[in-house]
Each structure stands twice: as structure tokens, then as C-alpha cells.
């Protein structure tokens, strides 16, 4: 069993504090949802845990099975068992998914098998067309195809803990269902149950992916945690109950009215 | 063996030689000695050592080429398709100055692929000043690939003069990996209505290398088209220059011309310059140019690293992916695969260096 422990995490972007003391623990087989309004720090949380450049951790710790994640470069975090499913998967021209998977498995000491066959099987499972396997990564793919591609990689690499950053953005309902089901299966895997930290703005994802715990992130802090019913409360009442109402949202680049939160 | 005479060399003060290393070249250090030239394929279409072709001589290097040229002529008669690529390989020796000239005459509705490779034996500097002169008759189709893999001490200063007549189709590809200083000046002229030209290039300079390209897309007839894609990378202290010019003359209405130059700077000390220009003298044209110089995209690197790909491997994948767009457009066959491998090998070699 694995355990990702985020403890008292503070982080700044361009000198501005976005995360202001986040505590969160995700274990194998658990599905956690982190919800919050725009600018709450959701994407910052995923970026900091994965080690994206431009974010500075000013206090706190992140450990995976006791190992200091923040001391590792990004690729070692992935090899150690963390995986980030990106909100906007980057297009990498001229680089085929197959080649990336070979290198990613090689760094994990697992490239000996039939990578191509494995890819083909996983692609079929997630409804990702086989002809896309040799296409440049994420180039000329629709939003739904990109997220199927992300989920396919998750299934190939079999991390211990996955962070899904807005998996539900930019994809149609069929793709959402296919991706959610695959994540659900991975988290129920008997041998290596995946721990999931699903970051989401809407609870659309949570109708497909059943969370064990829901956390509300507001202005860089978890302000409430509960069961799946918390998401339902949110849908009815918005984030107003969790905010003081007078402080501006953090990192306001996308700040919008709270009333808009559940409009699709 | 005669030393090359003193040449009235241009200076880097002249705009067309700006950024170049011309001021550091001493032609008298080299002895005139023809390269070892081998031709594979094209039996019946190739003549060696005989051409009365007169070419425009835009500068002293073309002049000296005319003086000392060793010539390969490929002549494809009207309506003839040469099935297999013709491969011309020049290997020059250390200390030599060689002047290969390749003349391609593609007849009406004829078709040929010519691959020209420039190599040199290691062991000292050499000077190679080749000239390519290609004339493509109406509805003729020429595919040409030049591969520069000369020694890291060698100087290569080349000219390519290509003219496409009515409804002709010309494809000029360049892969440059070698040379201390490699410069190619290309003039691709569309002289007949409906002719089209496509140019692609890949260049990768490392160590103290410099790659320098001057390219003119000259539209001298109505309804012509040209498309250019040059992609380069510089590493260590290497330098590269791309200077491109699209000229659309007064009578070349209905023309479409595009040029794109993209450069990756892989080290702090590396330097690339990109100067696209347009000279449009008529209306009713479609024209665009784009150029970029910069390091590997941080998001692409992060994406691969977040999958667990180590940084050096991620960089290698991104650079090879960057070049793939050009490699993909080279004449198909073993050469394309070989060049893909050569680029990868050079990247690995450089990646291992401090």
C-alpha cells in the first residue's frame, strides 16, 4: 500500500502565495476529490506535487511512502509512482506516444515486454483509436481524444498515486465515462490499487468517478472535507458557504462569479 | 599540386556575408585537387567531366568553381522517368580545395531524383565550393537532396541555382550536419507559369560549427508557388544563420509563397539568427513568413518528464521530434532512415559532452 502525504504545504507563484497550508493524504485504492472555485489553487497543487517549474514551495512537505517528493526532479517523482493527468495535455510535435512510453517504462526498468501489444490492448480498452498511437503526441487530437490518451498512459505506466487535473474539462460525455471507468478499474485493482486525487471544478466528473472523500479548497486551504454528499451540497449552494465572501480569490487570472460554477 | 590563388574575397561587412566567417578563410592554405566523386545509378543519363554549361556567377566562389570545376551532368530526356535515385558522392581530402559542379537538366515531363552527398576525409581542413545548376523544363519533376557531412574542420561554400519552367515541380532538400563553416546560397526561380517549388532543410551545428543559409524564392511568372521550411538546432558554441527572401516580380500575379524558419538553441552559448524578408511587387499574391529562435519548449519537456522520462532523454525526443517534420519530407528510402539515425547519433554524442 502506498501513501501520498501533503502536509502544511505553502507555495508561491511569482512571489504570490497561492497555497497556504494544504494537508491531504491519499492512499492506495482511495479516490479523493479536491473541489474549489477558480483561483483556489487547484492547478497549483497538482503542479507543485509534480514539480513544474515556476512554483516555489515555501513551507510544508510532500512525501510518497515516506520519501521526500519535493527533493526529487519531476521524472523521478513519476518513476517513484506519481502521475499527473494534465488538464491541457501538451502537444509534442514529431514525438510518438509509443516512443515516449518505451522511454518511460525503460526508466522504470519495465520496458522488456511487448510495449506495442500492451498499448494496442489498452487503447482498445479506452476507446482510443489505434492509428493515433504513432501520431505525434496530442497533435491534432480532439479534447476527448487527448483525455483518452492521458488515461491510456495512466493505465500503461501504472503509478501508485495519480493526480487528475480537471480530467473532465474539454471532453464529451462518452469520453468522460470511458476515462472515469478506467480510472475506477485501476483504483479497484486487486494487486496495485491506484490512489486518486481528482482535482475538479464541477461535480460532473464525480457522477462517473465515485469519490471516497471530497475536499473543498478555497484560497489555498482545505476548508472542508467530507464524504460524497459534500459535492451534492456544493452543487446546491455553491462555494458561498465556504468563503468569507469579502476576500478576493487567489490567482485571479480566471476568477469568475461563484454562481457560474456549476453551469456547463 | 598548385595552391589555390589569392581570391578577392568578400568581407563580412557586406550585408550578404553578414555574420559569416568569411573573414577567417585563407584560400591559399589549400591545394586545388578534385574531390573523389562517385555516381551510383542513372546509367545512360550521367556524364562525368564534360559540360559547357554557363552559369550566372553571383560571387567569387562560383567564379573559382567555373575555373576549376569537375562536373557531373545528369540529363533526363523529355518524357523519361528515372526510377531509382541517382546518388553522387564527393569525398574531399584534407588540405584540398575542390570544386564539384553538378548540372541537372530535366526534360519536358521527365522525372528524376538526385541525391548529392558531400563528405571529406578527416585529418585537416579542406575547402569545398560546389555549384548546383538545375533546369527543369515544362512539367518536369526534380527531387534533389544535398547532404553535407564534411569534416568538422572543413569549409564549404556552395551555390544552388535552380530554375523551374511552366508547370514544373521542384523539390530541394538539404541536410547539413558537417563543416566548421558551411554556407549554402540557394536561388530557386519559378520562370514559367504554374511552376511550384518546395524547399526543406535540416541543420544541426554543435561545438564550434557554423551553418549559414541564404535562400531566395524568386517568382518570375504568374501563378507560381513556393513553400520553404528550414529547421535548425545549435548546441554548445555553435552558430547558425538563416536569411531568406521571397521575391514576387511585377508580372507574377496569383502567386503563393511561404517561408518558415524555426531554430532551437540547445545551449546557453549557442546562437541562431533568422532573417526572413519579403519583396512583393504585385498585388493578388498569398504570402507569409514565420521565424522563431529559442530553447526547447518548457511545457513539452515537462510533459515528457512527468511521464518519467529523464531530462536528457526528453530533450533528445523533443529535438528529434522537431526535426521529424523535415525528415518526413525527404525523398523516401534508405537515405531518409540513415539521416534520421545520423541526427540521433550526433545528438547522443553532443549530449554526452560537457
pLDDT digit string, tens, across residues B19-47 = 999 999 999 999 999 999 999 999 999 99
Helices and strands per DSSP (H, E), number in chain A: 8, 12
pLDDT of residue A237: 81
Distance from CA of A153 to the nearest CA of B (A): 8
Q: What is the mean pLDDT of residues A126-134?
A: 91
Closest partner residue to B321 (CB to CB) among A52, A74, A93 is A93
Tell which of A51, A76, A104 to mutate to test the B interface (max B CBs under 10 Å): A104
CA dist., res. B53 & res. B56, Å (int) = 10
- Identify all chain B residues contacting A134, using CB atoms and an 8 Å cutoff: none
* B-interface mutation test, from A54, A55, A95, most B Cβ less than 10 A away: A95
Residue A137 sits at the chain B interface (C-beta within 8 Å): yes
Average pLDDT over residues B222-247: 97
Binary contact (B299, A90; C-beta < 8 A): yes
Is the pLDDT score of B354 beyond 50? no
Q: Nearest chain A Cα to B327, which residue? A: A94
Pick the more confident residue, B72 or A256.
B72
Residue A99, helix vs strand vs coil: helix
How far does the CA of residue A158 sit from the closest CA of chain B (Å)? 11
**Spatial contact of A178 and A148, defined as CB atoms under 8 Å apart:** yes
Q: Residue B128, Cβ neighbours under 10 Å: how many?
A: 27
The enclosing H or E element of A18 equals strand A16-27
For residue A220, CA distances in Å to A215, A250, B261, B276 come to: 12, 8, 43, 47
What is the 8-class DSSP label of residue A219? T
- pLDDT score for B59: 87
Question: Under 8 Å CB-to-CB from B338, ≥6 apart: which residues?
Answer: none
* H, E, C per residue of chain B: CCECCCCCCCCCCCHHHCCCCHHHCCHHHCEECCCEEEEECCCCCEEECCCCCCCCCCCHHHHHHHHHCEEEEEEECCCCECCCCEEEEEEECCCEEECEEEEEEECCCCEEEEEEEEEECCCCCCEECCEEEEEECCCCEEEEEEEEECCCCCEEEEEEEEEECCCCEEEEEEEECCCCEEEEEEEEEECCCCCEEEEEEEEEECCCCEEEEEEEEEECCCCCEEEEEEEEEECCCCEEEEEEEEEECCCCCCEEEEEEEEEEECCCCCEEEEEEEEEECCCCEEEEEEEEEECCCHHHHHHHHCCCCCHHHHHHHHHHHHHHHHHCCCCCCHHHHHHHHHHHHHHHHHHHCC
Interface test with B, best of A47, A52, A55, A75 (most B CBs within 10 A): A75
Q: Which residues of B touch A108 (CB under 8 A)?
A: 308
Within chain A, residue ranges assigned H as helices are: 42-50, 74-80, 97-107, 115-126, 143-157, 173-187, 204-208, 229-237
Contact A100 B304 (CB under 8 A): yes
Stronger pLDDT, A1 or B167, i.e. the higher one: B167
Measured between CB atoms, which of A83, A86, A99 is closest to B317? Answer: A99
The answer to whether the CB atoms of A73 and B324 lie below 8 A apart is no
Q: What is the pLDDT of residues A34-59, one digit of tens each?
A: 999 888 999 999 999 999 999 999 99
Say if residues A24 and A6 touch (Cβ distance below 8 Å): yes
* Tens digit of each residue's pLDDT (9 = 90 or more) over A206-216: 888 889 999 99
A17 has a pLDDT exceeding 60: yes
pLDDT score for A53:
94
- Looking at CA atoms only, how far is residue B341 from chain A in angstroms? 15
> Among A53, A73, A153, whose Cβ lies nearest the Cβ of B307?
A153
- Rounded to the nearest angstrom, the minimum Cα separation between B118 and chain A is 27
Q: Cell match 514559367: residue? A: B192
Please check whether residue A135 touches B, CB under 8 A. Answer: no
Mean of pLDDT values over B279-304: 96
Instruction: Give the residue carrying C-alpha cell 513553400.
Output: B227
Using the predicted structure, report yes or no on whether residue A245 has a pLDDT greater than 60: no
Instruction: Average the pLDDT over B186-212 and give the result.
Output: 98
- State whether B317 and A100 contact (CB < 8 Å): yes
Q: Which residue has the higher pLDDT, B99 or B353?
A: B99
What are the structural domains of chain A? 3-89+160-262 (3.40.50.300)
Report ipTM (2 d.p.): 0.91
List chain B residues with CB under 8 Å of A103: 304, 307, 309-310, 313-314, 317
* All structural domains of chain B with their residue ranges: 15-295
For residues B345 and B339, give the distance between their C-alpha atoms in angstroms, rounded to a whole number.
10
Start-to-end C-alpha separation, chain B: 41
Mean pLDDT of chain A: 89
Residues in A closer than 8 angstroms to B307, CB to CB, are 75, 78, 83, 100-101, 103-104, 153, 157
A&B contacts, CB < 8 Å: 83
Who among A73, A90, A101 is closest to B300 (CB)?
A90
**Residue A187 or A254, more confident:** A187
A94 closest CB neighbour out of B307, B308, B324: B324
Q: Does the beta-carbon distance from B303 to A137 stay under 8 Å? A: yes
Q: What is the largest CA-CA distance in chain B?
A: 61
Distance from CA of A135 to the nearest CA of B (A): 11
Reported as a single tens digit per residue, the pLDDT across B96-154 is 999 999 999 999 999 999 999 999 988 889 999 999 999 999 999 999 999 999 999 99
Closest A-chain CA to B317: A95
Q: Using an 8 Å CB-CB cutoff, list chain A residues near B322.
A: 93-94
Residue A174 in this model has a pLDDT that exceeds 60: yes
The predicted pLDDT at position B50 comes to 67
Per-chain mean pLDDT for chain B: 94
- How many angstroms separate the Cα of A56 from the Cα of each of A14, A45, A48, B232? 8, 11, 8, 34
- Which among B300, B309, B324 is the nearest to A107, CB-wise? B309
User: Among candidates A194, A225, A172, A183, which has minimal Cα distance to A24?
Assistant: A225
Mean pLDDT check: name the lowest of A82-96, A160-174, B238-252.
Answer: A160-174
In the three-class reduction of DSSP (H, G, I as helix; E, B as strand; rest coil), residue A102 is classed as: helix
What pLDDT is recorded for position A246? 44
pLDDT-based confidence at residue B351 (cuts at 50, 70, 90):
low
When pLDDT is averaged across residues A58-78 and rounded to a whole number, the result is 98
Could you tell me the pLDDT band of residue B57, with boundaries at 50, 70 and 90? confident
Give how far Cα A60 sits from Cα of A56, A73, B329, Å. 11, 17, 51
Burial category of A112 from C-beta neighbours within 10 Å (exposed 0-12, middle 13-18, buried 19 and up): exposed
Of the candidates A92, A101, A108, the beta carbon closest to that of B300 is on A92
Give the closest of B306, B320, B325 to A74, CB-based. B306
**Structure confidence at residue A172 as a pLDDT band (50, 70, 90):** confident
Asked if B321's CB is within 8 angstroms of A104's CB, the reply is no
Do the beta carbons of residue B245 and residue B216 sit within 8 Å? yes
Considering the entire predicted model, what is its pTM? 0.90
Rounded to a whole number of angstroms, the distance from the CA of A83 to the nearest CA of chain B is 7
Q: Which residues are within 8 A (CB) of B135 and not within 5 positions of it... i.e. 6 or more apart? A: B104, B105, B106, B163, B165
Amino acid at each position: 500500500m502506498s501513501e501520498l502525504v501533503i502536509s502544511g504545504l505553502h507555495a508561491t507563484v511569482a512571489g504570490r502565495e497561492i497555497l497556504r497550508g494544504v494537508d491531504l493524504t491519499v492512499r492506495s485504492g482511495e479516490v479523493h476529490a479536491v473541489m474549489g472555485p477558480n483561483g483556489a489553487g487547484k492547478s497549483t497543487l497538482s503542479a507543485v506535487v509534480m514539480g513544474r517549474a515556476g512554483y516555489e514551495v515555501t513551507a510544508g512537505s510532500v512525501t510518497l511512502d515516506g520519501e521526500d517528493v519535493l527533493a526529487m526532479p519531476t521524472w523521478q517523482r513519476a518513476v517513484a509512482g506519481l502521475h499527473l493527468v494534465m488538464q491541457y495535455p501538451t502537444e509534442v510535435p514529431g514525438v510518438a506516444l509509443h516512443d515516449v512510453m518505451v522511454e518511460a517504462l525503460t526508466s522504470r526498468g519495465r520496458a522488456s515486454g511487448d510495449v506495442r501489444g500492451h498499448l494496442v490492448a489498452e487503447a482498445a480498452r479506452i476507446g482510443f483509436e489505434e492509428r493515433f498511437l504513432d501520431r505525434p503526441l496530442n497533435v491534432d487530437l480532439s479534447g476527448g481524444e487527448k483525455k483518452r490518451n492521458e488515461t491510456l498512459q495512466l493505465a500503461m505506466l501504472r503509478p501508485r498515486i495519480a493526480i487528475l487535473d480537471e480530467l473532465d474539462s474539454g471532453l464529451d460525455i462518452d469520453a468522460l465515462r470511458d476515462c472515469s471507468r478506467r480510472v475506477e478499474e485501476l483504483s479497484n485493482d486487486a494487486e496495485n490499487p491506484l490512489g486518486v486525487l481528482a482535482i475538479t471544478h464541477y461535480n460532473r466528473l464525480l457522477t462517473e468517478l465515485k469519490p471516497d472523500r471530497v475536499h473543498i479548497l478555497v484560497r489555498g486551504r482545505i476548508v472542508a472535507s467530507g464524504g460524497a454528499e459534500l459535492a451534492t451540497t456544493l452543487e446546491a449552494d455553491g462555494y458561498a458557504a465556504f468563503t468569507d465572501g469579502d476576500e478576493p480569490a487567489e490567482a485571479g487570472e480566471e476568477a469568475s462569479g461563484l454562481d457560474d460554477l456549476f453551469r456547463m | 599540386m598548385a595552391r589555390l590563388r589569392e581570391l578577392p574575397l568578400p568581407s563580412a561587412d557586406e550585408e550578404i556575408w553578414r555574420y559569416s566567417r568569411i573573414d577567417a578563410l585563407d584560400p591559399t592554405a589549400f591545394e586545388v585537387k578534385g574531390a573523389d566523386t562517385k555516381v551510383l545509378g542513372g546509367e545512360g543519363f550521367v556524364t562525368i567531366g564534360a559540360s559547357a554549361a554557363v552559369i550566372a556567377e553571383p560571387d567569387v566562389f562560383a567564379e573559382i568553381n567555373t575555373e576549376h570545376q569537375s562536373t557531373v551532368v545528369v540529363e533526363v530526356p523529355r518524357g523519361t522517368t528515372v526510377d531509382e535515385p541517382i546518388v553522387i558522392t564527393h569525398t574531399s581530402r584534407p588540405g584540398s580545395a575542390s570544386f564539384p559542379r553538378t548540372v541537372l537538366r530535366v526534360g519536358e515531363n521527365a522525372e528524376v531524383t538526385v541525391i548529392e552527398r558531400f563528405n571529406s576525409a578527416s585529418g585537416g581542413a579542406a575547402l569545398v565550393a560546389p555549384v548546383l545548376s538545375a533546369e527543369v523544363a515544362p512539367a518536369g519533376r526534380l527531387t534533389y537532396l544535398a547532404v553535407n557531412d564534411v569534416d568538422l574542420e572543413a569549409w564549404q561554400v556552395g551555390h544552388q541555382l535552380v530554375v523551374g519552367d511552366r508547370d514544373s515541380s521542384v523539390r530541394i532538400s538539404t541536410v547539413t550536419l558537417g563543416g566548421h563553416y558551411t554556407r549554402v546560397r540557394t536561388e530557386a526561380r519559378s520562370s514559367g507559369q504554374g511552376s511550384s517549388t518546395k524547399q526543406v532543410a535540416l541543420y544541426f551545428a554543435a561545438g564550434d560549427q557554423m551553418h549559414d543559409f541564404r535562400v531566395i524564392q524568386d517568382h518570375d511568372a504568374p501563378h507560381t508557388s513556393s513553400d520553404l521550411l528550414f529547421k535548425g538546432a545549435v548546441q554548445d558554441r555553435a552558430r547558425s544563420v538563416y536569411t531568406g527572401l521571397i521575391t514576387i516580380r511585377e508580372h507574377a500575379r496569383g502567386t503563393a509563397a511561404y517561408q518558415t524558419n524555426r531554430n532551437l538553441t540547445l545551449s546557453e552559448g549557442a546562437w541562431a539568427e533568422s532573417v526572413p524578408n519579403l519583396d512583393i511587387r504585385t498585388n493578388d499574391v498569398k504570402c507569409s513568413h514565420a521565424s522563431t529562435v529559442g530553447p526547447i519548449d518548457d511545457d513539452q519537456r515537462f510533459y515528457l518528464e512527468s511521464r518519467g522520462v529523464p531530462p536528457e532523454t526528453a530533450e533528445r525526443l523533443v529535438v528529434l521530434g522537431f526535426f521529424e517534420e523535415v525528415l518526413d519530407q525527404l525523398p523516401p528510402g534508405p537515405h531518409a532512415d540513415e539521416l534520421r539515425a545520423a541526427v540521433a547519433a550526433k545528438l547522443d554524442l553532443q549530449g554526452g559532452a560537457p
